[in-house]
Structures are given as C-alpha cells and as structure tokens.
Amino acid sequence: MELRSVEELMDLLYACRGERAATEHGSGPGDLHGHALRTAALLRRRRPADKELQVAGLVSPVGRLLWPGDPAGRTADAVRPLLGARVARLLRRHTHPAAWTHDDDLVSLRQADEEARTAVFDAGVLEDWRTVLELTAARNSRLGAVD
C-alpha cells in the first residue's frame, strides 16, 4: 500500500482514534491518535524548524493500525511516495536501537515517542497538522520531479 494523498493519510490518522497504543508492558496511556499528536507536538517544541521529523512522529502509528506485526518497514514504504525519503528513513530506523546512537534525529524521535506515552498535555487536533503534511508532500513532489 502506498499513500498518495494527504487526505488518505489524514483518514488513516483519524482511524487511529480509539486504537490502543501498545507498549512492551501492555497498553499505553491512550490511543494511537493521541500518542501521535503528543509525539509530533513534543518534536515541534524541541525542533521547530524540522517539519520532516515532526511529521515522522505524527505518522508513525499508521503502521501499527494497518500492520500490527511489522509496522516500521511497511509504514516507511507506505509514506515514502508522499512524504519523502527522509521521513521514510526515520520511520524505518526508529525501531532499531542500534541506529539511534549516531543519529540525533532518531534520538529525538525516540525520546519524544517515549515521553508521549506518559505526558499529559493538550497536543491540539489533527487538523492543526494538515498544512505541515501538505507542505511536506508538496516539497517531496517538487524534489521527486527533479530526480
């Protein structure tokens, strides 16, 4: 499956509502939708200029919804045509601890992901992220046309 539009991606992110955020110890403190919003919000606070990193945090639960047993690689493959190689790389390597040690982006993503499991704050709504997703997709589209 490849996501071809921001609208398709938004639909999947909305579908994450009510799906429990699984952790090594059972269920997380809320659904995948809320976890994604908190992760992206934390990344926005820490790295406000890095929209691709924020988007990677936002879209990471899509794979857990669609492919519960093997989410990371499939999520990366699904979003690459829409959001680009960097977002796909971050998603693919996010679940591999050996990759984190030499990559500040992956460390930031992992820290935000972990903190979002227990943090309690108003992370906004998904619609707040539509423009960022559209800009990331448009940028990737322009870059893809040049390649």
How do residues 110-141 score in pLDDT, each as one tens digit? 999 999 999 989 999 999 999 999 999 999 88
Encoded tokens for 45: 């606070």
List of the chain residues with pLDDT < 70: 21-30, 70-72, 96-97, 99-101, 142-147
Sorted by sequence, the CB contacts under 8 Å of residue 115 that are 6+ apart come out as 38, 42
Rg of the chain (C-alpha set): 14
pLDDT at 74 (0 to 100): 81
Find tokens 């940028």 and name the residue: 139
pTM, full prediction? 0.85
pLDDT at 70 (0 to 100): 61
Q: Distances in Å between the alpha carbon of 48 and those of 12, 78, 91, 132, 136? A: 24, 25, 19, 12, 14
pLDDT at 44 (0 to 100): 97
